Amino acid sequence: MAIPTTEQSRPDTVGALRASGYTPRPLRDEMRSNLVARMRQGGPLFPGIEGYDDTVIPALQNAILAGQDMILLGERGQAKSRIIRALATLLDAETPVLDGPEIPENPFDPISEQGRQLIAEQGDAAPVRWVGADERYGEKLATPDITIADLIGEVDPIKVAEGRYLSDELTIHYGLVPRTNRGIFCINELPDLAERIQVGLLNIMEERDVQIRGFRVRLPLDILIVASANPEDYTNRGRIITPLKDRYGAQIRTHYPESVETEMAIMRQEAAPLEIEGLRVDVPGYMEEVVAEVTRLARRSPDVSQRSGVSVRASIAGLETLLANAARRALTLGETHVVPRVSDLPHIVPAIQGKMEMETVEDGKDEQILEKMLQGGVATVFNRRFNVVDLEEVVNVFKEGVSVEVGESVASVDYPALLTQVEGLREALEPLQVGEDAADVAAAVEFLLEGLHLNKRLNKDQVGARIQYRG
């Protein structure tokens, strides 16, 4: 039933809630119903999650429609946590619970002793509070030092000191999982959880009861248990015990973006905007594509460990750093228009280096490998946009003895002159749709010249921040 939308009209007691005609739904029915409604409305089911429409999203839909607990399995940086948090958007905007018990309780059918006592003592006058969807979602990063008390609960010595017996359920201080009753609880990196703690979680998923220090409390928790794991963790850091893995109804495999367009869409969505007073920032599409291709090359490189994967965060951090260096260059040269160039690319190495595990352990080899990836990214994007045969007029000018100096220390205003100095250069840049702005011209010229160099049509000499291209 629909929940009252205004605070004044919300029932604040069990009796008023009953009189309003409200009928509580089990959590899985609630999520299924809200998913069906969203599917019928059309549009994206989980906004902000890119590249999974034909793979992961259908598997998620099936698991929710089937009412299954689920585990998301994939390498780092595959949006596992984001997907799980997006499940909370399928919860009702607000839900009534008993006001008082430690556990969020169905006002009409409490499951804890504290909730039952509250109803027995106050009846229809028992207070009700309304909780939002965000309050019904909980998560915990699994670490080896997590205890049963953290997740399940523990006997509270203060309550015992107050005179209660150890056999009294009211002596228990409940952990994170019971406190997420009527909601979604996520455990990130499940294999890191000690096996004895996994057994406790297994008991909750299978028997729906809580066992603390030999004291058993029957708690039919209404909760969806979701977990994430990296395949590498099964052998390197721990494992998921087989009975627990068996209790998850759906194992959903995530993956990295299957196209460069998807990778770029995620970069644009996630990269922190560079906002500096007095500077205007523009990013050419081909430079975004180069950063994305560097990450994609790393995912195929034998020099990079593919067991741990190369996170999309490498692309995001690379784009952020590329813009940062372009802004630093503009500020140094007194420019106001920031457009990243090829000469800015080497500065992204520190940002992406920590996002991948190298197979080699030789000193200095990492930087060489990454430098080749940068060159590979530029060459790949260049060859998508240009046919080297069509650029022979430009190459011939260099063969006649013309040389061009570019680089980080060269101001943007110096680049438009090259369009007349090098015959055919202006026409050659047409596929990049470059206007008259000096910063845009500078970025396009560097990209074209580097592409010709990588295709062995021009020679390149570099001294410090200055780069010379010649025939």
- The C-alpha angle with vertex 23 and arms to 227 and 204, in degrees rounded to 5, equals 30
Domain boundary among 253, 275, 304: 253
Q: Which domain, by its residues, includes 297?
A: 260-470
With bands split at pLDDT 50, 70 and 90, how would you rate the model's confidence at 56? very high
Residues 432 and 303 in one domain: yes
- What is the Cα–Cα distance from 317 to 315, expressed in whole angstroms? 6
Query: Do the domain assignments include residue 23?
Result: yes
Question: Is there a domain that residue 448 lies in?
Answer: yes
Say if residue 2's pLDDT is above 50.
no
| Interval 206-220: pLDDT, tens | 766 666 655 566 778
The pLDDT of residue 235: 44
The yes-or-no verdict on residue 122 having pLDDT over 90 is yes
Asked whether residue 220 falls in the same domain as residue 301, the answer is no
Please report whether residue 172 resides in a domain: yes
Query: What is the CATH classification number for the domain harbouring 34?
Result: 3.40.50.300
- Domain-embedded: residue 368: yes
Categorize the per-residue pLDDT at 230 as very low, low, confident or very high, splitting at 50, 70 and 90: confident
Give me the number of domains the chain comprises: 2
Q: Do 246 and 265 sit in the same domain of this protein?
A: no
Q: Are residues 367 and 270 in the same domain?
A: yes
- Does residue 2 lie within any of the structural domains? no
pLDDT above 90 (res 30): yes
Tokens of 427: 């026409």
Same domain, 227 and 346: no
Same domain? 213 vs 312: no
Q: Is position 90 within any domain?
A: yes
In a domain? residue 50: yes
Q: Last residue of a domain, which of 253, 270, 294?
A: 253
Asked if 148 contacts 197 with a C-beta cutoff of 8 angstroms, the reply is yes
Instruction: Give per-residue pLDDT as tens, 362-416.
Output: 666 888 889 999 999 999 999 999 999 999 999 999 999 889 999 999 999 999 9
> pLDDT band for position 236 (50/70/90)?
very low
Asked whether residue 196 falls in the same domain as residue 276, the answer is no
Whole-angstrom Cα distance, residue 27 to residue 233? 31
Average pLDDT over residues 113-138: 92
**Residues 51 and 103 placed together within one structural domain of the fold:** yes
Tokens of 416: 């438009």
Which among 191, 218, 253 is the end of a domain? 253
| Token pair 């309780």: residue | 105
Residue 356 token pair:
């991948």
Residue 373 and residue 348 in one domain: yes
Which tens digits make up the pLDDT trace of 441-465?
999 999 999 999 999 999 999 887 8
**Looking at this protein, which amino acid is placed at residue 51?**
G
Residues 56, 110 within the same domain: yes
* Same structural domain, 265 and 228: no
User: What is the model's pTM?
Assistant: 0.84
**413-452: string of b/e by CB count within 10 Å (b at 16+)?**
eebbebbeebebbbebbeebebeeebbbbbbbbbbbbbbb
Q: Can you give the pLDDT at residue 163?
A: 55
454 and 362 assigned to the same domain: yes
Residue 1 forms part of a structural domain: no
Q: What is the pLDDT of residue 471?
A: 86
